[in-house]
Structure 1
Amino acid sequence: MTEVAVNYKTGSEKLIKVLDGASAHLRGLLEKQGRADGALRIAVIGGGCSGLQYKMDLVDGPRDRDILVPSNGVQVVIDPKSALFVSGSELDYSDDLQQGGFKVSNPNAVVTCSCGESFAA
Protein backbone atom coordinates (compact mmCIF):
# COMPACT_ATOMS: atom_id res chain seq x y z
CA MET A 1 0.00 0.00 0.00
CA THR A 2 1.55 3.32 -1.04
CA GLU A 3 1.35 6.28 1.27
CA VAL A 4 -0.26 9.34 -0.29
CA ALA A 5 1.48 12.63 0.49
CA VAL A 6 -0.71 15.20 2.22
CA ASN A 7 -0.44 18.70 0.76
CA TYR A 8 -0.62 21.15 3.67
CA LYS A 9 0.98 24.44 4.71
CA THR A 10 2.75 25.23 7.96
CA GLY A 11 1.45 28.31 9.73
CA SER A 12 2.72 30.37 12.64
CA GLU A 13 1.39 31.40 16.03
CA LYS A 14 0.08 34.54 14.29
CA LEU A 15 -2.80 32.30 13.19
CA ILE A 16 -3.44 30.66 16.56
CA LYS A 17 -1.34 30.45 19.70
CA VAL A 18 -1.80 27.64 22.23
CA LEU A 19 -1.36 28.81 25.82
CA ASP A 20 0.21 26.67 28.58
CA GLY A 21 -3.02 25.30 30.09
CA ALA A 22 -4.38 24.19 26.71
CA SER A 23 -1.05 22.70 25.68
CA ALA A 24 -0.74 20.55 28.81
CA HIS A 25 -4.35 19.33 28.60
CA LEU A 26 -4.13 18.62 24.88
CA ARG A 27 -0.90 16.60 25.28
CA GLY A 28 -2.62 14.51 27.97
CA LEU A 29 -5.67 13.86 25.76
CA LEU A 30 -3.53 12.87 22.76
CA GLU A 31 -1.43 10.48 24.87
CA LYS A 32 -4.56 8.84 26.34
CA GLN A 33 -5.79 8.18 22.80
CA GLY A 34 -2.41 6.83 21.69
CA ARG A 35 -1.92 9.78 19.33
CA ALA A 36 1.17 11.41 20.82
CA ASP A 37 1.98 12.86 17.37
CA GLY A 38 -1.63 13.90 16.74
CA ALA A 39 -3.18 17.34 16.55
CA LEU A 40 -6.21 19.37 17.55
CA ARG A 41 -8.41 20.30 14.60
CA ILE A 42 -10.24 23.60 15.03
CA ALA A 43 -12.98 24.43 12.56
CA VAL A 44 -15.44 27.30 12.39
CA ILE A 45 -18.93 26.16 11.42
CA GLY A 46 -22.30 27.83 11.10
CA GLY A 47 -24.55 27.64 14.14
CA GLY A 48 -24.70 28.69 17.74
CA CYS A 49 -26.56 31.70 19.08
CA SER A 50 -24.26 34.25 17.38
CA GLY A 51 -24.03 32.61 13.94
CA LEU A 52 -20.64 30.83 14.07
CA GLN A 53 -19.18 28.31 16.47
CA TYR A 54 -15.99 26.36 17.02
CA LYS A 55 -15.75 22.63 16.41
CA MET A 56 -12.74 20.80 17.88
CA ASP A 57 -11.59 17.24 17.28
CA LEU A 58 -8.46 15.23 17.95
CA VAL A 59 -6.95 14.02 14.68
CA ASP A 60 -3.87 12.10 13.52
CA GLY A 61 -2.61 15.04 11.43
CA PRO A 62 -3.40 17.51 8.67
CA ARG A 63 -5.46 16.81 5.57
CA ASP A 64 -5.02 18.31 2.10
CA ARG A 65 -5.04 22.12 2.09
CA ASP A 66 -4.94 22.33 5.92
CA ILE A 67 -2.70 24.73 7.80
CA LEU A 68 -0.60 23.06 10.51
CA VAL A 69 0.42 25.35 13.39
CA PRO A 70 3.00 24.03 15.86
CA SER A 71 2.57 25.96 19.12
CA ASN A 72 3.76 25.36 22.67
CA GLY A 73 4.68 21.71 22.06
CA VAL A 74 1.42 20.71 20.34
CA GLN A 75 -0.01 20.91 16.82
CA VAL A 76 -3.21 22.59 15.68
CA VAL A 77 -4.69 22.01 12.23
CA ILE A 78 -7.13 24.43 10.62
CA ASP A 79 -8.77 24.40 7.21
CA PRO A 80 -8.18 27.54 5.07
CA LYS A 81 -11.77 28.82 5.40
CA SER A 82 -11.74 28.55 9.21
CA ALA A 83 -8.31 30.20 9.31
CA LEU A 84 -9.90 33.42 8.03
CA PHE A 85 -12.02 33.56 11.18
CA VAL A 86 -9.46 32.52 13.82
CA SER A 87 -6.40 34.53 12.74
CA GLY A 88 -4.72 36.05 15.80
CA SER A 89 -6.61 33.86 18.29
CA GLU A 90 -5.34 32.23 21.46
CA LEU A 91 -6.43 28.81 22.72
CA ASP A 92 -6.58 28.24 26.46
CA TYR A 93 -8.08 25.63 28.74
CA SER A 94 -10.06 26.00 31.94
CA ASP A 95 -11.16 23.21 34.26
CA ASP A 96 -13.90 25.38 35.78
CA LEU A 97 -16.96 23.24 36.55
CA GLN A 98 -19.48 25.49 34.77
CA GLN A 99 -17.48 27.11 31.95
CA GLY A 100 -14.62 24.62 31.65
CA GLY A 101 -13.00 23.31 28.49
CA PHE A 102 -10.99 24.72 25.63
CA LYS A 103 -11.63 28.44 25.05
CA VAL A 104 -10.71 30.49 22.00
CA SER A 105 -9.94 34.18 22.55
CA ASN A 106 -10.66 35.58 19.11
CA PRO A 107 -9.88 39.21 18.22
CA ASN A 108 -12.05 38.90 15.08
CA ALA A 109 -15.24 38.15 16.99
CA VAL A 110 -17.43 41.25 16.97
CA VAL A 111 -20.24 39.54 18.88
CA THR A 112 -19.88 36.71 21.36
CA CYS A 113 -22.52 35.00 23.43
CA SER A 114 -22.52 34.20 27.12
CA CYS A 115 -21.85 30.49 26.51
CA GLY A 116 -18.45 31.39 25.00
CA GLU A 117 -18.80 28.86 22.19
CA SER A 118 -20.46 31.04 19.56
CA PHE A 119 -19.45 34.27 17.85
CA ALA A 120 -20.04 36.55 14.88
CA ALA A 121 -17.24 38.02 12.78
Structure 2
Amino acid sequence: MSEGLQLDLKKPLDKMTAKELRELVLKQIPQVTGASGLGKDELLVQIKEVLGIGGEDGPKVSPYKTKILSMKSKMRSLRTARTEVSGDGTRKQKEILRRQINKLKKRTRRLAKA
Protein backbone atom coordinates (compact mmCIF):
# COMPACT_ATOMS: atom_id res chain seq x y z
CA MET A 1 0.00 0.00 0.00
CA SER A 2 1.00 3.63 -0.31
CA GLU A 3 2.72 5.21 2.62
CA GLY A 4 0.35 6.60 5.21
CA LEU A 5 -2.75 5.34 3.42
CA GLN A 6 -4.64 2.82 5.52
CA LEU A 7 -8.04 1.66 4.35
CA ASP A 8 -10.58 -0.04 6.57
CA LEU A 9 -12.26 -2.44 4.17
CA LYS A 10 -15.11 -4.73 5.10
CA LYS A 11 -14.60 -6.92 2.03
CA PRO A 12 -12.12 -7.27 -0.86
CA LEU A 13 -12.03 -4.55 -3.51
CA ASP A 14 -13.07 -6.96 -6.26
CA LYS A 15 -16.21 -7.94 -4.35
CA MET A 16 -17.34 -4.36 -3.67
CA THR A 17 -20.06 -2.76 -5.77
CA ALA A 18 -19.46 0.35 -7.85
CA LYS A 19 -21.42 2.42 -5.33
CA GLU A 20 -19.27 1.16 -2.44
CA LEU A 21 -16.10 1.84 -4.41
CA ARG A 22 -17.21 5.42 -5.14
CA GLU A 23 -17.90 6.01 -1.43
CA LEU A 24 -14.49 4.58 -0.57
CA VAL A 25 -12.77 6.87 -3.08
CA LEU A 26 -14.65 9.97 -1.96
CA LYS A 27 -14.02 9.36 1.75
CA GLN A 28 -10.58 7.75 1.91
CA ILE A 29 -8.69 8.13 -1.38
CA PRO A 30 -8.64 11.76 -2.57
CA GLN A 31 -5.95 10.99 -5.20
CA VAL A 32 -8.55 9.43 -7.51
CA THR A 33 -10.49 12.12 -9.36
CA GLY A 34 -13.69 11.82 -11.35
CA ALA A 35 -14.96 8.82 -9.40
CA SER A 36 -18.61 9.67 -9.91
CA GLY A 37 -18.34 9.19 -13.65
CA LEU A 38 -16.36 5.96 -13.61
CA GLY A 39 -17.64 2.40 -13.75
CA LYS A 40 -16.58 -0.38 -11.43
CA ASP A 41 -13.78 -1.65 -13.67
CA GLU A 42 -12.20 1.79 -14.08
CA LEU A 43 -12.54 2.51 -10.36
CA LEU A 44 -10.79 -0.75 -9.48
CA VAL A 45 -7.92 0.01 -11.85
CA GLN A 46 -7.41 3.51 -10.45
CA ILE A 47 -7.69 2.42 -6.81
CA LYS A 48 -5.20 -0.40 -7.34
CA GLU A 49 -2.88 2.01 -9.14
CA VAL A 50 -2.96 4.46 -6.21
CA LEU A 51 -2.49 1.69 -3.64
CA GLY A 52 0.30 0.05 -5.61
CA ILE A 53 -1.57 -3.20 -6.08
CA GLY A 54 -0.80 -4.52 -9.51
CA GLY A 55 -0.22 -7.54 -11.60
CA GLU A 56 -3.24 -7.08 -13.84
CA ASP A 57 -3.20 -5.32 -17.19
CA GLY A 58 -6.62 -3.86 -16.55
CA PRO A 59 -10.14 -5.02 -16.07
CA LYS A 60 -11.05 -8.43 -17.39
CA VAL A 61 -13.75 -8.25 -20.00
CA SER A 62 -15.82 -11.29 -20.72
CA PRO A 63 -15.59 -12.43 -24.34
CA TYR A 64 -19.37 -12.90 -24.22
CA LYS A 65 -20.16 -9.40 -22.98
CA THR A 66 -21.82 -8.21 -26.18
CA LYS A 67 -23.90 -11.37 -26.39
CA ILE A 68 -24.98 -11.01 -22.75
CA LEU A 69 -25.94 -7.37 -23.29
CA SER A 70 -28.01 -8.26 -26.34
CA MET A 71 -29.79 -10.99 -24.38
CA LYS A 72 -30.55 -8.57 -21.58
CA SER A 73 -32.04 -6.06 -24.00
CA LYS A 74 -34.17 -8.87 -25.44
CA MET A 75 -35.32 -9.70 -21.89
CA ARG A 76 -36.32 -6.08 -21.33
CA SER A 77 -38.41 -6.07 -24.47
CA LEU A 78 -40.04 -9.37 -23.48
CA ARG A 79 -40.87 -7.97 -20.05
CA THR A 80 -42.59 -4.95 -21.57
CA ALA A 81 -44.50 -7.27 -23.89
CA ARG A 82 -45.52 -9.36 -20.90
CA THR A 83 -46.89 -6.34 -19.05
CA GLU A 84 -48.85 -5.32 -22.15
CA VAL A 85 -50.30 -8.83 -22.48
CA SER A 86 -51.06 -9.16 -18.76
CA GLY A 87 -54.05 -6.85 -18.98
CA ASP A 88 -55.92 -8.47 -21.83
CA GLY A 89 -53.84 -11.46 -22.96
CA THR A 90 -54.41 -15.12 -22.51
CA ARG A 91 -52.75 -17.08 -19.78
CA LYS A 92 -50.91 -19.19 -22.36
CA GLN A 93 -49.28 -16.13 -23.97
CA LYS A 94 -48.11 -14.87 -20.56
CA GLU A 95 -46.65 -18.28 -19.78
CA ILE A 96 -44.76 -18.37 -23.09
CA LEU A 97 -43.22 -14.94 -22.42
CA ARG A 98 -42.32 -15.91 -18.85
CA ARG A 99 -40.51 -19.03 -20.05
CA GLN A 100 -38.61 -17.11 -22.73
CA ILE A 101 -37.44 -14.61 -20.13
CA ASN A 102 -36.44 -17.44 -17.79
CA LYS A 103 -34.40 -19.18 -20.51
CA LEU A 104 -32.59 -15.95 -21.37
CA LYS A 105 -31.75 -15.34 -17.71
CA LYS A 106 -30.28 -18.83 -17.42
CA ARG A 107 -28.21 -18.33 -20.58
CA THR A 108 -26.79 -15.00 -19.41
CA ARG A 109 -25.81 -16.52 -16.07
CA ARG A 110 -24.11 -19.43 -17.82
CA LEU A 111 -22.20 -17.10 -20.16
CA ALA A 112 -21.16 -14.86 -17.28
CA LYS A 113 -19.70 -17.86 -15.47
CA ALA A 114 -17.73 -19.01 -18.52
Normalising by the residue count of structure 2, what TM-score does the alignment of the two structures yield? 0.23
Structure with the larger helix share = 2
Higher relative contact order (CA closer than 8 Å, sequence separation 6+): 1
Structure with the larger strand share = 1
